[in-house]
Structures are given as structure tokens and as C-alpha cells.
Structure 1
Amino acid sequence: MCVDCAGPGAKQRFRRVSLAGTQFAGAPVTLALVIINVVMFVVQEVWSGAFQVLAMSPLAAYMEPWRLLTTTFLHSGLWHILFNMLMLYILGSAVERAVGHWKFASIYLFSALVGSMAIIAWVFVSPETITQATIGASGAIYGLFGAVFIAHRRSGMSTSGILVLLGINLAYALIVPGISWQAHIGGFLGGLLATAVYMWVVDLTRGPRRSQRTLWEVVATVGLFGAFAIGTWGLYAVLIPSLLG
């Protein structure tokens, strides 16, 4: 986000995520997300009020919670959206084909929200950021990094390349001003958590319980987003009184 601006047993648990031969075929949700982001970028260009209505600052999101998600569909410039959409295309299409359409959507959206949650949590450290606006899809995209990391670990594939790429990106975010590294870390952790939960469900429903898998995946999804809602409410319940006091 930008501020202001493989063993055989593993295949039974989770399909391997491969970044080779990435394409939109078999990844309609990824394609839809790219289209939505591009459309919203055009909307920003022709309607200056989009930023005021949809961008998130911790204080604005307290009064208008939809900003926690809508802010991830805004971008600060051409290079910002081009880089994010390239990463979404590469990572999203691979993850979506591996986990399925609706679970991919859940991982993406949950990561985006946890990225926003991390920005709110940072206000405890830096209170002046409560009114600082943050936009961009980077938190959700870092969640896809988390999904690939978990999938590679579970399938016995090397994760060193992912860790190096993450390290470079996080170092860049820390060095260059105007980049929300908090959202990046939060999104990555959100992707790790959501993917680990779905993998746990796959393990839980192997064999004769496989027919119950979809039900448990739905329960897990409700639990993830419910935990986010409770966690965010708890942050605000402590944060707002402390600032007013």
C-alpha cells in the first residue's frame, strides 16, 4: 500500500502453487480483481471525490468501516497500479488455480483487511498516523505471498526465493518514504493465517470426511472474517478512548 498518494503426500493436503506458466485461464477471480482495480483507477482520474469517499485512514475507517476494504482498490499513480497489477497477475492466477476460486477470493480479501487492521494497530505506536490516508492493493498481494509460502512449505518446496523477494520488498518499503510497510506485514500475516486454516480443513476432512469439506471451509471462512471483525472492534475500543482521554 502507498500512503497518501513436493512430495506425493502433500498433494492430498493442498495442490502445489507454481508460478510457471502463469495465465488468466482458470483464474476468473484474479481477472475480475485486476479489472476492478483498473476501473477504480480510471474512476479516480475522472472523479476527484473517490479518494475522499473510499480511501482509509484509521480515524475515517472508525466512522465508515467500508474504507477498510475499498481503500485497497485505489492507487496513487500509474506506476503504483502497474506494479501491483503485475504482481496480482503473477501470484493471483497461480494461487487461484491451486486453491479454487472462492477460497482465493477469501484469502485475498482477508489479507487486505488484515493489512488495514495493521495500519490501525500502528496508531498505538505513532498516534499522528490516525488521520493518515493509505491506499493500494499491496496488503492483499502480500497475503498471496503468504499463501505461496505456506503451500511451498507444506509441499516440501523451497521457500528461499519467496523469502528473498519478501525481504527485498520490505526493505524497499522501509527505506522509501510513503509506503505502508505495516499493511504489507499485516497482509502477509493474513495470507499465512487464512491459507494455514484452509490447509488444516483439508487435513481434517481427508478420507471418509471429504464430503464435509465444503461445509468446514465455509465455517472456517466465517470464523476468519469474524475474528477480523472482533479484533478490529477491540483495537478501536481501546484506541479511541485512549486518544480522547
Structure 2
Amino acid sequence: MTSQPPGEPGTQAIPTCYRHPDREAHVRCQRCERPICPDCMRDASVGFQCPDCVAEGNRTVRQAQAVFGGRAVTTPRVTWALLAVNILAYFVQSVSDQVLRDFAMYPAAVAYGGEWWRLITGAFLHSPLGSGGFALTHILFNMWALYAIGPELERRLGSTRFLALYLLSALGGSVAVYLLSAGFVVGASGAIYGLFGALFVVGRRLGYDVRGVIWLVGINVVITFAVPGISWQGHLGGLVTGAVISAVLVHAPARSRSAVQWAGCAAALLVLVAAVLLLPPFAFNDAAQIPDVFGYRG
């Protein structure tokens, strides 16, 4: 019997993929040197790596972060989503008046009907067409403001923190309406004014010239009190809430940033909820004083 010299065909077994034993593998992972088939090959800086090594490497790579925490934002998806929800809600309410009846912010319905959802849903509705005054301008201005300043704030704060800022500002505006107003109110203005306050706080924290923001807020405050039919309560509540929340987000210490930020947001939420549960609406003392809006009297 004669043996074949080393190196001749048939003297060595063809390696197979460690993940697919039935497939030939003529390439080895540059990191662990296990054989991999074409389906398991992942491009690396040099050669290819196997899926397991790629996953392990991703776990050790530090994710890019926004300036004040959270993942870095390249596309402001939360801003676009909020724009879409507001616009969609406007089309829905234009088709059915019942949407306003059931979801507008109406202090009496919250105080005497337990309809707590109105504190948030009212912030996604706007003055309906045909209601006179600045009906169409209402949603156009709010959506323009969200489009103009939302992406910048989302990139600075991170998407999740930006969403928390928006929703808490909207809630802060509604709580102020609940405590200080008797009529029904709709609009994202409380949230938008919260973004105005945040833009000022973030700008100061980063050392920017914020005089333009001061002028922007000042002009809108004048409009709020000069034009009849605008809820100054919602604007004021949103502005104060947005400024407070953003101050917590941007001044949280780096070492325990996330914990402090979310604890601050949770504390603000508890304060707003407690204000509704414990404080009476100051605009009326009992159901008999409630304006007859949509035929609702508690």
C-alpha cells in the first residue's frame, strides 16, 4: 500500500462552517479563526468576521450619545411623529365634532366627570375650521414652531428625553388650564411654549446667545394677552413646566445623569398629578358655575 504525499488533493478534509456544518467554508473569521460560510461572513476592517464575534464587538462599543444623554439622534423621529399625530388629529376632528366633545381639555369634565385623559388629548387638538378667529392659524403656527425648534432640541436632549419634555409641558399647560380656566381649551400651545422655555435653558447651558429666544417668547406672550380667545393659562403652564424640566435635563451631573434626569421628570409628573387631585379649580366653586359648553354640566 502506498500513501499520498502531503499536499496532494484528497489528503486534507475540507473545513465546514461552524454554524452550518453541511456547508463548505474556505474563509476563517479574522477574530476567532473559526471557518465560516458565505452566509456567515461579516465585513470587517480586515477580512471577515463571524456573527458571534461581530455581536460581541458591538456590545463593547460605546454608543454615541446626545449632548445631554440618551442615544445620538441623526433623524428626529419623535418630532416627525408628533407632527404627524397632531395633523392626523386635526383631520379627524374636522370630520367629527364628537372628537372635540370627548377629548378637548375641559376643566369641568376633569373635575366632575373624572375624564382625566383630557389633560393630554386636548393638547393634540386645535381650533376647528369655521370656529372663527385664528382657527387655521392655530395649528399652522404650532406645527411650524414644532418643525422649527423640535429637531434641534431632540438632537441635544435625545429622543426619549425630548418626548418626556413635550408631554410634560403639554400636561403642565393643561393643569394650569384646569386650575385657572373654566372654558374648554384645545391646542399644542402648552407643549410648544414648553419647547420655547427649553430652548432658552439649553441655549444658556451651551453658552449660546439667547436674546433671540427671549424676543421670541416675549412676542408670543404679548400676542397671548393681546388677542382674545387665547389661553394664557395653558401658555404659562407649558412655559414654566418646560423650563423646569429642561433645567433638570441639562444640569444633571454627568456621573448619575440618567438617574437624576428621570427622577426629576417623575417628580414633576407627580406634582402635576397631585395638583389636579388635591387642588380645586379656582375658576368655579361648584357645578352650577360651570359654563354650558357642549351641554356638559358635570
TM-score normalised by structure 1 residue count? 0.79
Partner residue, 2:54: none
The 4+ residue runs of structure 1 with deviation greater than 2 A are 212-221, 238-245
Query: How far is the alpha carbon of 1:80 from its aligned partner?
Result: 1.6
Change (3 A) 1:157 1:36: same
- Which range moved further: 49-58 or 213-222? 213-222
Quote how far apart the aligned CAs of 1:114 are. 0.7
- 1:1-245, aligned counterparts within 5 Å? 14=67, 26-62=75-111, 63-76=114-127, 77-122=135-180, 129-130=181-182, 132-201=183-252, 203=253, 206=254, 209=255, 212-236=256-280, 239=282, 242-243=285-286
- The alignment of Structure 1 onto Structure 2 pairs a total of residues equal to 211
Query: SS of the counterpart of 2:208?
Result: coil
Instruction: Tell me if the contact between 2:109 and 2:115 (Cα under 8 Å) persists in the aligned partners.
Output: yes
**Residue pair 2:165, 2:194 contacting (<8 A) in 1 also:** yes
Unaligned runs of 5+ in 2: 1-65, 128-134, 289-298
My pick for the range that moved more, 93-102 or 24-33, is 24-33
Q: Please tell me whether the aligned partners of residues 118 and 183 of structure 1 are also in contact (alpha carbons under 8 angstroms).
A: yes
* Superposed CA RMSD: 2.4
Counterpart of 1:110, as a letter, is L
Q: What is the CA-CA distance between 1:158 and the residue it aligns to?
A: 1.8
Alignment match, 1:10? none
How high is the sequence identity, in percent, across the aligned residues?
38
Structure 2 CA distance for partners of 1:223 and 1:81, relative to 1, 3 Å: same
Alignment partners' CA distance in 1, 2:185 and 2:219: 21
Q: What whole-Å deviation, never above 9, does each CA across 1:175-195 have from its counterpart, x for those lacking one?
A: 111111111111010110001
Gaps of 5+ in 1: 1-12, 16-23, 123-128
Counterpart CA distance in 2 for 1:199 and 1:84 is 24
TM-score by length of 2: 0.66
Moved more, 66-75 or 54-63: 54-63
Deviations 1:108-142 (A, max 9, x none): 011111111111232xxxxxx42x11000011000
Contact map agreement 2:167 2:191 (CA 8 A) in 1:
yes
Structure with a larger share of its residues in helix: 1
Aligned to 1:56, what secondary structure does the other structure show?
Answer: coil
Counterparts of 1:160 and 1:234, CA distance in 2 = 38
- Whether contact under 8 Å (2:224, 2:231) holds in the other structure is yes
- Corresponding residue number in structure 1 for 2:7: none
Deviations 1:38-62 (A, max 9, x none): 1100101111100000001211122
Amino acid at match of 2:271: A
Greater RCO, CA 8 A, separation 6+: 1
